[in-house]
A and B are shown apart, each in its own frame.
Chain A
Amino acid sequence: MNKYYSTNMSIFVFAAPALLLFTVFCVYPLLPQIWMSLHNHDGFRNLGFVGLDNYREMIANSSFWTAHKNTYLIVAISILLGLPLSMMLALYMDSQTPNLRRFFKSAAMFPAILSVTVVAQIWVAFYEPNWGLFNSLLKAVGLESWTKSWLTDQYTVMPSIGLTFLWQYIGLNAILLYTGIKTIPKQYYEAALIDGASFVKVSLRITIPLMQDVIKYVLILSMLGSMAFYSHVRIMTSGGPGDLSRTVVYQMYYIAFETSQFGKGTAIAVLFVLECLLISFLIQRFVARERLEF
């Protein structure tokens, strides 16, 4: 029957639109990227072949390394701090009554459904030096000397932006992880219950190992999300003070669209794609290699 329907014509009609859209707008842009990175290009004209000069110049630029330091700081915050917190929230939600769980789920989702423009600007107000939330709280408990101009201080700017990011996505990740907990069949817990194992022990020995697929998914998602960290920086500090809060993607945007050096911008992009591929590969290779079937 399906053979009857599978004429060359019908296959073409069904497959072509999606494959065409996907090829033109998702795959094709990757190719001129490499070509462009070897040329001096200002966004309108190609000003000649320069070989690897763009790469050499970008790597010699100190902003490039500041941007890398900041990007990996965000990655570290979201993986080392964010994921464990999300996991704890997910485990805590699992142990609660349905009503409390519903409260936590809705509360945790709210930051993630708001636009990044709204969230980042709210936090700009919280970090405001004169009347902002953090300085007001510090003044209220008598720690006046700790007050800071959070977003213009070179040491606090990146952690401050990172905290906003953390706050926005902890809840969403917790909900994803919670669904992983839900897929574990109940009989796995029966033996542990008879032994009288503690909640912490059950979580570490049974729950977390059995939901490694979902953990891996959330890990890849937060990894790529924080690698491409850009929007919050754009809204909260525009990369400032100076270049101190630029991330790799921000640096790429800055070089390409604000200084009209498209060739150099794409050189950053090409290096960045390689980094992302390497990290995805490492996660695929070393985290949760076997699929679990229940």
Chain B
Amino acid sequence: MKYLIRLFWLIAGCTFLFPLYWMFSMSFKTKSEAYNNPFGIPQIWDWLNYSEALTKYPFFLYLKNSLIYTIGTIAITLVAGSMLAYCLSRMQWRWNAAALFYISLGLIVPIEVVVIPLFQLIKSLYIKDSYLGLILPYTGFSLAACVLMLYAFLRTLPKELEEAACIDGSNVYQAFIRIIFPIVMPALVTQSILIFMRIWNEFPLAFIIAGKDQFRPLTIGLLSFYINVGISDWGIIAASMVLSSLPTIIVYLIGNEKIEHALTAGAILK
């Protein structure tokens, strides 16, 4: 019985990895081999798919766009979010509790339900064909989790932290940048990872807002590439999939401990 259970989960573990293997092996197969031998190891390792994919598929454009969307969202969310969290946790403001409740509403609203009015809003702000058209809504939807996590973190710090800064004669902005920012760094790293995981692969909103090819992130660009190639040439499709997945796979291989830590920090907080 014990061995049966182990066997079951080992097979399950392998099925988690099988599509990854399939994608890599397929990307090295010629067109005829893709049909005759769709699941085996390639008989001839052929790099042609990659060179063809790189000429037809504007990988670096989409990669650049994905980087801009993700980094832009992370930067704005962390700066605005940590400032609000600092204000709510350590300043004396009459509306602290109300503002905290208000921002936590953001955890309940799924981005998909406001896609239509968001689309209208972005059109009327004239930011539809620009990077801000996605960065700003992404930021709006990332703030709630960021503020709540940083708020919980800042609450645990001793009140005396700013005293030294105050005695030195620095004002609140200097104190925030020199003292608070370095201390909350670990929480900011965790938040960056969580935002990266969500925004890098975000599909539903980007599909609507990033209409022009020039502004498409990888997830959307890849879908339009499938449609252009048609479903006959799986070697090229697989090569474009591998290229598109490489950034996340590399990030995961470098930081998998940090990613797991971030995910669990998110789970325990709520």
Q: Is B223 an interface residue (CB 8 A)?
A: yes
- A69-106 residues with Cβ-Cβ distance < 8 A to B are 89, 92, 103-106
Q: 22 A-B Cβ contacts within 8 A?
A: A11-B87, A11-B93, A14-B91, A15-B83, A15-B99, A21-B136, A21-B139, A27-B106, A32-B120, A89-B12, A114-B20, A115-B200, A117-B226, A118-B245, A121-B222, A121-B226, A125-B26, A133-B38, A176-B263, A214-B268, A230-B112, A231-B203
In Å, the complex CA distance between A109 and B93 comes to 42
Q: Is A277 an interface residue (CB 8 A)?
A: yes
Which residues from A are CB-within-8-Å of B9?
89, 92, 104
Chain A interface, DSSP helix/strand/loop, else mixed: helix
Given A92-B9, A118-B244, A22–B23 Cβ distance below 8 Å?
A: no
CB of B141 within 8 A of CB of A25, answer: yes
Q: Is B16 an interface residue (CB 8 A)?
A: yes
Q: Is A108 an interface residue (CB 8 A)?
A: yes
Q: Is B163 an interface residue (CB 8 A)?
A: yes
Q: Is A113 an interface residue (CB 8 A)?
A: yes
Interface 0/1 of B139-168, CB less than 8 Å to A: 111011001000000000001101100100
Which residues from A are CB-within-8-Å of B88?
15
Look across to chain B and name the residue whose beta carbon is closest to the beta carbon of A272. B113
In Å, the complex CA distance between A111 and B115 comes to 26
Q: Is B45 an interface residue (CB 8 A)?
A: no
CB of B110 within 8 A of CB of A227, answer: yes
Smallest distance from the beta carbon of B18 to chain A beta carbons, Å? Answer: 9
Q: Is B44 an interface residue (CB 8 A)?
A: no
CB of A6 within 8 A of CB of B103, answer: no
Partner of B17, one of A17, A107, A117: A107
CB of A17 within 8 A of CB of B109, answer: no
Which residues from B are CB-within-8-Å of A124?
231
Smallest distance from the beta carbon of B71 to chain A beta carbons, Å? Answer: 17
Interface 0/1 of A125-138, CB less than 8 Å to B: 11000011100100
Partner of A17, one of B16, B80, B159, B245: B80
Partner of A224, one of B93, B103, B110, B241: B110
In Å, the complex CA distance between A128 and B99 comes to 52
CB of B99 within 8 A of CB of A113, answer: no
Given A110-B17, A228-B113, A269-B113, A116–B84 Cβ distance below 8 Å?
A: no
Smallest distance from the beta carbon of A272 to chain B beta carbons, Å? Answer: 6
Given A18-B81, A228-B112, A32–B260 Cβ distance below 8 Å?
A: no
- B1-19 residues with Cβ-Cβ distance < 8 A to A are 5, 9, 12-17, 19
CB of B270 within 8 A of CB of A113, answer: no
CB of A103 within 8 A of CB of B13, answer: yes
CB of A29 within 8 A of CB of B22, answer: no
Look across to chain A and name the residue whose beta carbon is closest to the beta carbon of B141. A26
Residues in B lying within 8 Å of A, measured CB to CB:
5, 9, 12-17, 19-20, 22-23, 26, 35, 38-39, 76, 79-81, 83-84, 86-88, 90-93, 99, 102-103, 105-106, 108-110, 112-121, 136-137, 139-141, 143-144, 147, 159-160, 162-163, 166, 172-173, 175-176, 197, 200-201, 203-204, 207-208, 218-220, 222-223, 226, 231, 234, 237, 241, 244-245, 248-249, 252, 256, 259-260, 263-264, 267-268, 270
Q: Is A253 an interface residue (CB 8 A)?
A: yes
CB of B99 within 8 A of CB of A19, answer: yes
Chain B interface, DSSP helix/strand/loop, else mixed: helix
CB of A105 within 8 A of CB of B105, answer: no
Look across to chain B and name the residue whose beta carbon is closest to the beta carbon of A85. B12
Look across to chain B and name the residue whose beta carbon is closest to the beta carbon of A17. B80
In Å, the complex CA distance between A161 and B88 comes to 44
Interface 0/1 of A31-65, CB less than 8 Å to B: 11100100000010000000000000000000000
CB of A115 within 8 A of CB of B172, answer: no
Which residues from B are CB-within-8-Å of A32?
117, 120-121
Q: Is A239 an interface residue (CB 8 A)?
A: no
Look across to chain A and name the residue whose beta carbon is closest to the beta carbon of B226. A121
Which residues from A are CB-within-8-Å of B120?
32, 36, 43, 262
Q: Is A189 an interface residue (CB 8 A)?
A: no
Given A1-B166, A18-B143, A26-B141, A115–B116 Cβ distance below 8 Å?
A: no
CB of B175 within 8 A of CB of A111, answer: no
Which residues from A are CB-within-8-Å of B116?
33, 36, 252, 256, 262, 265-266, 269
CB of B144 within 8 A of CB of A33, answer: no
CB of B117 within 8 A of CB of A30, answer: yes
CB of B93 within 8 A of CB of A115, answer: no
Given A14-B84, A230-B204, A6–B92 Cβ distance below 8 Å?
A: yes
CB of B91 within 8 A of CB of A109, answer: no
Which residues from A are CB-within-8-Å of B222?
115, 117-118, 121
